[in-house]
Structure 1
Amino acid sequence: MKIVVNDHSGHAFTLQLSRQFAESGHEVLHAYSVSFQSPKGNFEDLPLSGSGLTVLPIMIKGKFDKYSLLKRRKQEIEYARQLTNKLDTFRPNVVLSGTTPLFVQQHVQQYCLRKGIKFVYWCQDIYTIAIRQIARQKLGMISFPIWYYFKSLETKLLKRSAHVISITQDFNDLFDKWKLHPEQVTCIPNWAPLREITLTGKNNDWARRHNVADKTCIVYSGTLGLKHNPAMLSAAAAYFLTHKDVVFIVISEGLGAAFLQKEKEERQLDNLLLLPFQDFRDMSQVLGAADILLAILENDAGAYSVPSKVLTYLCAKKPIVLAMPPDNLSAAIVLDNKAGYCISPDNQQGFCQHIEKLLTDTTLRQEMGHNGRAYAEKHFDIKHIENKFLQVFNTILN
């Protein structure tokens, strides 16, 4: 089978899936955006040519303008054109496209429909929710026509797909409202590349390089966009400012990172270490240096976003503290498996108190970390996950 996996963000777990397809004998083209700010998978240590996997890094002109609807539309169409030009020569049977903006999805889907290629919409987020939030902030009451346009576009893209793979059953209520046929949807939860995350000690090369090997490290790693409130992180750093052995490490880029840089300077948060996205090859040591791992998500995004960083955290054998709606799938996994705590995203005091409880109880940290790793080992078998995708592909092709 000839398979295209298009992951605009360039995540590690989607690259793992492409590599697994190739290992199973399929011919695979994996496309991602070099220009988009996000944590990337390990695209450096790929197998040599002849493995069945071809990686297509797509670079657009200029920096990706994430928060400008007009500018990013032009950039998304440029990305889609580069991808479809490659599809002309690759000639796939199936295109699996996820974590990808709507205008890219639209152009790639139109191409697939013209060419008789099965387009599978990998629904990682409901984009309409985020677009409504951006439009409201910038335009107020006159934002309704913009939101309605994108809602109609997203609905049409889902309905016209050969199949939809969703990452959580929480999307089903919205799919029902949009009259998406249940038989057209398969739920395959996200995962993290377990075998690529090696358990390491605190005193590792990465920790020594950043002078934190002898510190108690509380780590946030991932995007900080409109779905997140970075003030939760600066408030936590301020709460523990007198704890000289505690350091908060935030690995991110973009608006949220810029906000935290300003907070660090204005509030003199010497215990807040801000770093850009790290090479995925260093991620095992980043997680090894951590004592506690953090993730945040706003209420508006709770039902329609599943932070992949939390799934990566589970692999690290470290406790997790979340500030997000407790009915979010990631939060439910953490709570159900006793791998950490979850507090409402508007409760800064509770967020800090949960961190404090873990700081004072080494045994509890170890127990929760063990529980999280046990969940990952049970559910993140890439061969089993691959079979679920192949079952969908074979069904729509036959």
Structure 2
Amino acid sequence: MPVKNRFAELLPEITEWRRDLHENPEILFETHRTSAIVADKLRVFGCDEVVEGIGRTGVVGVIKGKTDGSGKTIGLRADMDALPILEATGLDYASKTPGAMHACGHDGHTAMLLGAAKYLAETRNFDGTVVVIFQPAEEGGGGGREMCEDGMMDRWNIDEVYGMHNWPGKPVGSFAIRPGAFFAATDQFDIYVEGRGGHAAKPQETVDTTVVASHIVLALQTVVSRNADPVQQIVVSVTSFETDSKAFNVIPQKVQMKGTIRTLSEEMRDLGEKRLTEIAEATAAVFGAKATVDFHRGYPVMVNHEEQTEFAADVAASVSGACEEAPLVMGGEDFAFMLEERPGAYILVGNGDTAMVHHPEYNFNDEAIPAGCSWWAEIVEKRLGAA
């Protein structure tokens, strides 16, 4: 396939871009260096329009085809931000920023979409318009939502939008996708428990918040085991437990807990919020304490559209020879906001036998670059009908 051959030729150059980004990670919306590099390259490639500052630090590039008889516009999205992790890879291009690391492969996503943009700007072998979207703050900041709220979809009349994520454990350059709910909604909660503190030698004079909060942690597990339909997906995890005392002989007055609920449907999302609040408040009351729950809805369920998913799978099969059905993922992905505004699909590309994402020893596999770039280019040329 000519596309794959071209990206094989570009591989050393794209790899160089990727490793530079890896060495200089930026977190959330602080992608100032990354965004500037992306915008500069898009201008050098000859994009018809390059706009910075969409969704605070996002970048959009517009590439027009040889013809525009279709009047259609396809959006291609990559995320740019890193994670607050101390890198432990020992690579010669490891992060130079202590406490920041491209531990999820967004450096690879950005480099692959830049490669696809370079090719599409060179060839323009399609009928319509391509909008390449470089998004900040996927890792918890909601950069996708910010770009949509900035009017990106309407401003460039985007009809469909496609995204990609690398996936450790899958063969390099292979693909997997599924229609419908794919990545989970990621909601967070804080539970504040207040009792009556006192001396640890006189527990009868206290309302022991550590005991109360411990019962809440255990009781919350019944949301999954006794409230949810067993064939539905829901995860309830308490991930932080902190008291207002550090002394060995003091029963604390207050305890704060943090955690997350992951679901793949609005029904389960509502159930999780309702039961979490009821269980925390009622359990505390049984012991004479008080619990207050702050529930924060995060990214929604990411839902692939059926027609676009089937098309994306066919393109992936043409690139790599096959496309498997992907598993459900209880992690979150803020591409969900873009798929709420426009039909589209999100696909996984194999990263090979590497450490999992969000691990300090993870590294994006540069051998996946030709397949990823080819998928994006083929999405455009097949969906917009080569002119």
TM-score (norm 1): 0.28
Query: 1 or 2, which has the higher helix percentage?
Result: 1
